[in-house]
């Protein structure tokens, strides 16, 4: 019996190659898109002083109870970060003077929350955030929507909608209806529209928020109206008109950069539950995976780092729920079977010098195609079987007979056809098979 | 006064864009090289059960005292991983039946050790490990040396040496000298040769290990000899002959794949201090940064996961000390000033619609070059100054006058020259400046 039972902690998971390869590619895609808009990476420690992480939370907040918090060997009260926004606030307070504004950063890294575990939810997950801080320009808000769009396309999705609103529009309507003191409650209720439906939200607006039935109907009507109808009815409000103008500018830019119809939509019912957001808000839904909710969400906030610095740092950004997306793709069988980093396997034969095989493999690698040499001298069938199981695409068979006559056999593992070619034609034959 | 003083924990650090961009590129390079040899990524949780992490450690081991260990909210005794080898052992015990052997994985992720902080050493650092497990074939050992070589070249180094030995050679010599019961002590002493010099090691071999002065001299002589001389004198030992044959095969393969002379060398004095290693051992030194020690080290081990499984899992691998390398490059002023993800900045002018600017920027981006639009309408000089400071290479100036006449100005921020070109020629002009 082994001395220790090998296991992971409840709510944590291993990423075997089939998952980790896909996750790495998703991260690569996210980075490339963020960089292409001028966002630059930062990283911050996984562990922070608890007082830094807790600064913005109510002591009774759920997230505070979910913290991995402990006293370190130096007697410090520390905790694992639960998001990347608080570390950004702390980072900005310390470094933004040196870095200048507008400061555009992305940050991809794990965060930890001791949540109750459910399907697709883990206690450690990767956040992929990007934010522009230090500017109130609506150009930054518009850019966030473009980045979300390009991100989803680059990840391979076509059927999705980035839904955008500006909280000032709904807040202005609430003011016009004479219940401006209830704005927070109204926005929190309207946020539930997609999940709970209009009847439930109407009831909540009346019973909990305290609107009249007519006011509740007006709010719900506006939230599901298009921009023109809202401006016609409520456009006398500067707040409504300002928000609507910003959303229209966004739609103009989306058209100018060629975003197809339907991918980016104004949806005044999007309000995000958090009081944190103060302007534009974003949610992103996949047509083929509606049940997982928004996969990329965010918004504008007025003051990122007020608890750590006197400098006012407004900003706007969003966060890609990469691990949630990955778990959903896994559940839906959307992941491939590829578990090797190299598509080409050199079969090892007895009587062939490793130097010969590695010389050939190095040629393939130098052409930009990954190639591995099977380490053990085993039956050819067993070597090929492992290669196929791992998703390799090409096997090279160069036994003593082949090498003596200056040829190598190149086998297409998908079609199971093989061709004998001169050694000098190995790379071109491998590339031909890979391209086919 | 802000409510909370923003600071990081002692021994932890932030990575601002100038550092994080370089680190991301190093990680990308490492992944690409690992994959090109057929290694596939895995990931494991940062937190593990303490009993899993501590299984292989003496209770008094320094590393056990450096653990970030605590009781979580569910009453579990947990700790942050201190390396990626123990998680690999635990992972292999759980998953290797499904994944099959040989199993080639890389793992790039942070680890935590509450060490005393020194220059260039942090309590959180990135490990970049790769290992082949489930085979005793020397082909796997040879591949590790090739991977280390390609990794250093891909990271931009030219003047370096991967030093390789096989512990069986020195161990065989110690047996021939009649002190085979002192092998562990001899290897640990010889490991200090580069740092402490032959006199100190000679003294230790005599005073601590208990060799005679003649035996100690023989050991030191052999450790600094070349392979031919050692085989001539000690080749009757099967252990010496076997190790030497494996090292010669490695040199043959290195020649076959075109590794330049001096980049890969047999050095019998390399023995690694750890008892853990049982065969081939590797260390890698940079000619221009000798003081930071080995930047990529590893070796062969007989049994990875014996505490967690009855399956015997021999393996071989190495680890790139990426953060140590990065800290050294930072200290030596080897890092660039680039802090933006996009090399092209579109200057924003009053009176120009964002839709026009974003239409042009999208064209540049679609050509594969990152481009950002400055969000605020500010003085042109201030916009250009920030772009230059962040290492942008091209500014596009498209004001109302330019757009009205269908031209844009493209400014090379290095040479400070600019050219007015038709809108349709924007992308080719940007690419021309970038290529120049």
Q: Are strands B47-49 and B77-80 parallel, antiparallel or unpaired?
A: antiparallel
Mutate to test the interface with A, among B3, B15, B16 (most CBs of A within 10 A): B16
Higher pLDDT, A268 or A327: A268
CA-based nearest residue in chain A for residue B355: A253
Q: What tokens were used for B242?
A: 């076997």
Q: What tokens were used for B246?
A: 């494996």
Asked if A341's CB is within 8 angstroms of B110's CB, the reply is no
Interval B259-278 mean pLDDT: 88
CB neighbour list of residue A305: distance below 8 Å, 6 or more residues apart = A89, A90, A92, A93, A311, A313, B6
Give the DSSP H/E element, type plus range, for residue A316. strand A315-320
Asked if B5's CB is within 8 angstroms of A375's CB, the reply is no
Three-state SS at A256: helix
Asked if B40's CB is within 8 angstroms of A17's CB, the reply is yes
Would you call A228 an interface residue with chain B, using a CB distance cutoff of 8 Å?
Answer: no
Interval A255-276 mean pLDDT: 89
Q: How far is Cα A273 from Cα A435, in angstroms, rounded to an integer?
A: 48
**What is the model's pLDDT at position B359?**
96
Distance from CA of A355 to the nearest CA of B (A): 4
Asked if B52's CB is within 8 angstroms of A17's CB, the reply is no
Give the DSSP H/E element, type plus range, for residue B36. helix B17-36
Q: Which of residues 139-158 of B touch A (CB under 8 A)?
A: 139-140, 142-143, 146, 150
CB B374 within 8 A of CB B345: yes
Backbone φ and ψ of B272, nearest 5°: 55, 135
pLDDT tens sequence across A293-338: 899 999 999 888 888 988 899 999 999 999 888 887 887 787 887 8
CB neighbour list of residue B214: distance below 8 Å, 6 or more residues apart = none
- Give the DSSP letter of residue B395: E
Option in A106, A112, A135 nearest B375 (CB)? A135
Would you call B389 an interface residue with chain A, using a CB distance cutoff of 8 Å?
Answer: yes
Three-state SS at A58: coil
Q: What tokens were used for A176?
A: 């016009």
Q: Quick count: other Cβ atoms within 10 Å of Cβ A311?
A: 16
Q: What percent of chain B clears pLDDT 90, i.e. is strictly above it?
A: 83
- Give the DSSP letter of residue B122: -
Categorize the per-residue pLDDT at B334 as very low, low, confident or very high, splitting at 50, 70 and 90. Answer: confident
The region, left, alpha or beta by phi > 0 then psi within -120 to 50, assigned to residue A176 is alpha
Distance from CA of B239 to the nearest CA of A (A): 21
Asked if B14's CB is within 8 angstroms of A42's CB, the reply is yes
Asked if B389's CB is within 8 angstroms of A7's CB, the reply is no
Q: Is the pLDDT of residue A394 over 90?
A: yes
Asked if A78's CB is within 8 angstroms of B370's CB, the reply is no
Asked if A28's CB is within 8 angstroms of B342's CB, the reply is no
**What is the model's pLDDT at position A426?**
97
Q: Which of residues 284-323 of A touch B (CB under 8 A)?
A: 305-310
- The closest alpha carbon to A392, from B227, B17, B38, belongs to B38
- The closest alpha carbon to B321, from B127, B112, B163, belongs to B127
Distance from CA of B201 to the nearest CA of A (A): 35
Asked if B52's CB is within 8 angstroms of A91's CB, the reply is no
* B49 vs A contacts (CB less than 8 Å): 7, 9
**What is the model's pLDDT at position B305?**
87
The region, left, alpha or beta by phi > 0 then psi within -120 to 50, assigned to residue A165 is beta
Per DSSP, helices labelled H in A193-276 are 193-207, 213-223, 227-234, 238-256
CB neighbour list of residue A209: distance below 8 Å, 6 or more residues apart = A182, A185, A186, A189, A216
* A6 vs B contacts (CB less than 8 Å): 52, 90, 93-94, 305, 308-309
Q: Is the pLDDT of residue B331 over 80?
A: no
Asked if A375's CB is within 8 angstroms of B45's CB, the reply is no
Interval B227-256 mean pLDDT: 96
Q: How far is Cα B54 from Cα B49, in angstroms, rounded to an integer?
A: 9
Radius of gyration, alpha carbons of chain B: 28
Distance from CA of A340 to the nearest CA of B (A): 5
**What is the model's pLDDT at position A47?**
98
Asked if B140's CB is within 8 angstroms of A102's CB, the reply is no
Asked if A35's CB is within 8 angstroms of B341's CB, the reply is yes
CB B151 within 8 A of CB B30: yes
**pLDDT, mean over chain B:** 93
Q: How far is Cα B275 from Cα A226, in angstroms, rounded to an integer?
A: 71
Three-state SS at B208: coil
Categorize the per-residue pLDDT at A274 as very low, low, confident or very high, splitting at 50, 70 and 90. Answer: low
Asked if B38's CB is within 8 angstroms of A345's CB, the reply is yes
Q: How far is Cα A194 from Cα A184, in angstroms, rounded to an integer?
A: 18
Asked if A3's CB is within 8 angstroms of B307's CB, the reply is yes
Asked if B95's CB is within 8 angstroms of A354's CB, the reply is no
Q: What ipTM does the predicted assembly reach?
A: 0.94
Q: Which of residues 242-261 of B touch A (CB under 8 A)?
A: 249, 252-253, 255-258
Mutate to test the interface with A, among B1, B10, B12, B17 (most CBs of A within 10 A): B17
pLDDT tens sequence across B5-39: 999 999 999 999 999 999 999 999 999 999 999 99
Q: What percent of chain A clears pLDDT 70, i.e. is strictly above it?
A: 98
Q: Which residues of B227-249 are buried (b: 16+ CB within 10 A; e: fewer)?
A: beebbebbeebebbbbbbebbeb
pLDDT tens sequence across B168-195: 999 999 999 999 999 999 999 999 998 8
**What is the model's pLDDT at position B274?**
66
Asked if A376's CB is within 8 angstroms of B308's CB, the reply is no
Q: Quick count: other Cβ atoms within 10 Å of Cβ A12?
A: 20
What distances in angstroms separate CA A92 from CA A370, B11, B72, one per listed residue?
41, 19, 30
CB B141 within 8 A of CB A64: no
* A307 vs B contacts (CB less than 8 Å): 2-4
pTM above 0.90, yes or no: yes
Give the position of tokens 């909280």: A167
Would you call B93 an interface residue with chain A, using a CB distance cutoff of 8 Å?
Answer: yes
**What is the model's pLDDT at position A297?**
95
Give the position of tokens 């000798």: B290
Distance from CA of B231 to the nearest CA of A (A): 22
- The closest alpha carbon to B294, from B324, B255, B266, belongs to B324
Q: Is the pLDDT of residue A352 over 80?
A: yes
- The closest alpha carbon to B266, from B288, B281, B277, belongs to B281
* CA-based torsion, A254, A255, A259, A264: positive or negative: positive
Q: Are strands B160-166 and B264-266 parallel, antiparallel or unpaired?
A: parallel
Three-state SS at A133: strand
Per DSSP, helices labelled H in B213-305 are 213-223, 227-234, 238-256
Would you call B39 an interface residue with chain A, using a CB distance cutoff of 8 Å?
Answer: yes
Option in A71, A354, A386 nearest B142 (CB)? A354
Categorize the per-residue pLDDT at B59 as very low, low, confident or very high, splitting at 50, 70 and 90. Answer: confident
The region, left, alpha or beta by phi > 0 then psi within -120 to 50, assigned to residue A41 is beta
Option in B74, B132, B340 nearest A375 (CB)? B132
pLDDT tens sequence across B92-151: 999 999 999 999 999 999 999 998 877 667 999 999 999 999 999 999 999 999 999 999
**pLDDT, mean over chain A:** 93
Q: How far is Cα B123 from Cα B63, in angstroms, rounded to an integer?
A: 12
* A376 vs B contacts (CB less than 8 Å): 102, 135, 137, 139
Would you call A358 an interface residue with chain B, using a CB distance cutoff of 8 Å?
Answer: yes
Would you call A337 an interface residue with chain B, using a CB distance cutoff of 8 Å?
Answer: no
* A66 vs B contacts (CB less than 8 Å): 73
Would you call A135 an interface residue with chain B, using a CB distance cutoff of 8 Å?
Answer: yes
Q: How far is Cα A395 from Cα A387, in angstroms, rounded to an integer?
A: 8
Q: How far is Cα A286 from Cα A284, in angstroms, rounded to an integer?
A: 7
Asked if B371's CB is within 8 angstroms of A36's CB, the reply is yes
**What is the model's pLDDT at position B273?**
66
**What is the model's pLDDT at position B436?**
59
* A40 vs B contacts (CB less than 8 Å): 17, 20-21, 339-341, 390
pLDDT tens sequence across A164-179: 999 999 999 999 999 9
Would you call A40 an interface residue with chain B, using a CB distance cutoff of 8 Å?
Answer: yes
Q: Is the pLDDT of residue B239 over 80?
A: yes
Categorize the per-residue pLDDT at A210 as very low, low, confident or very high, splitting at 50, 70 and 90. Answer: very high
Asked if B46's CB is within 8 angstroms of A98's CB, the reply is no
Q: How far is Cα A342 from Cα A367, in angstroms, rounded to an integer?
A: 13
Interval B213-242 mean pLDDT: 95
Would you call B133 an interface residue with chain A, using a CB distance cutoff of 8 Å?
Answer: no
Mean pLDDT: which of B126-135, B281-290, B316-325, B330-339 is highest?
A: B126-135
Would you call B354 an interface residue with chain A, using a CB distance cutoff of 8 Å?
Answer: yes
Q: Is the pLDDT of residue B330 over 90?
A: no
**What is the model's pLDDT at position B327?**
82
Burial tier of A121 (Cβ tally within 10 Å: 0-12, 13-18, 19+)? middle
Interval B309-320 mean pLDDT: 94
* Preceding amide of B313 cis, omega within 30: no
Three-state SS at B379: coil
Interval A270-284 mean pLDDT: 86
Q: Which of A200-209, B231-240, B284-293 is predicted least confidently?
A: B284-293
Domains, chain B: 17-331 (3.30.930.10), 344-435 (3.40.50.800)
- The closest alpha carbon to B407, from B396, B421, B419, belongs to B421
Would you call B49 an interface residue with chain A, using a CB distance cutoff of 8 Å?
Answer: yes
* A28 vs B contacts (CB less than 8 Å): 28
């Amino acid at each position: 019996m082994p001395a220790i039972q090998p296991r992971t902690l409840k709510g944590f998971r291993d990423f075997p190659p089939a998952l980790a390869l896909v996750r790495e590619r998703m991260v690569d895609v996210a980075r490339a898109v963020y960089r292409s808009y001028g966002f630059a990476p930062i990283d911050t420690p996984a562990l922070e002083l608890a007082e830094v992480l807790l600064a913005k939370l109510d002591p009774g907040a759920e997230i505070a109870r979910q913290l991995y918090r402990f006293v370190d060997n130096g007697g410090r009260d520390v905790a694992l970060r639960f998001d990347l926004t608080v570390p950004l606030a702390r980072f900005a307070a310390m470094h933004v003077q040196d870095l200048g504004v507008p400061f555009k950063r992305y940050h991809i890294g794990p965060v930890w929350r001791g949540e109750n575990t459910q399907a697709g939810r883990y206690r450690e997950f990767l956040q992929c955030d990007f934010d522009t801080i230090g500017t109130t320009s609506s150009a930054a808000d518009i850019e966030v929507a473009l980045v979300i769009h390009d991100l989803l396309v680059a990840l391979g999705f076509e059927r999705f909608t980035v839904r955008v609103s500006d909280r000032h529009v709904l807040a202005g309507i609430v003011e016009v209806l004479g219940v401006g003191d209830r704005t927070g409650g109204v926005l929190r209720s309207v946020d539930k529209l997609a999940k709970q439906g209009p009847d439930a939200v109407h009831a909540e607006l009346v019973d909990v928020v305290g609107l009249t039935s007519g006011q509740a109907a007006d709010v719900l009507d506006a939230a599901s109206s298009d921009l023109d109808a809202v401006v016609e009815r409520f456009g006398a409000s500067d707040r409504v008109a300002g928000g609507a103008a910003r959303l229209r500018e966004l739609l103009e830019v989306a058209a100018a950069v060629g975003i197809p119809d339907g991918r980016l939509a104004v949806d005044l019912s999007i309000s995000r539950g958090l009081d944190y957001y103060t302007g534009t808000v974003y949610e992103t839904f996949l047509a083929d995976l509606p049940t997982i909710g928004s996969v990329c969400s965010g918004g504008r906030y007025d003051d990122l780092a007020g608890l750590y610095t006197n400098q006012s740092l407004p900003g706007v950004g969003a966060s890609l729920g990469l691990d949630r997306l990955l778990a959903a793709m896994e559940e839906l069988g959307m992941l491939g079977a590829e578990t090797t980093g190299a598509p080409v396997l050199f079969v090892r034969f007895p009587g062939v010098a490793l130097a010969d095989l590695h010389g050939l493999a190095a040629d393939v690698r130098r052409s930009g195609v990954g190639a591995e040499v099977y380490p053990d001298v085993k039956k050819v069938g067993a070597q090929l079987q492992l290669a196929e199981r791992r998703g390799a695409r090409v096997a090279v068979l160069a036994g003593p007979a082949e090498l003596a006559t200056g040829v190598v056999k190149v086998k297409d593992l998908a079609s199971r056809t093989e061709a004998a070619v001169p050694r000098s034609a190995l790379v071109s034959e491998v590339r031909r098979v890979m391209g086919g």
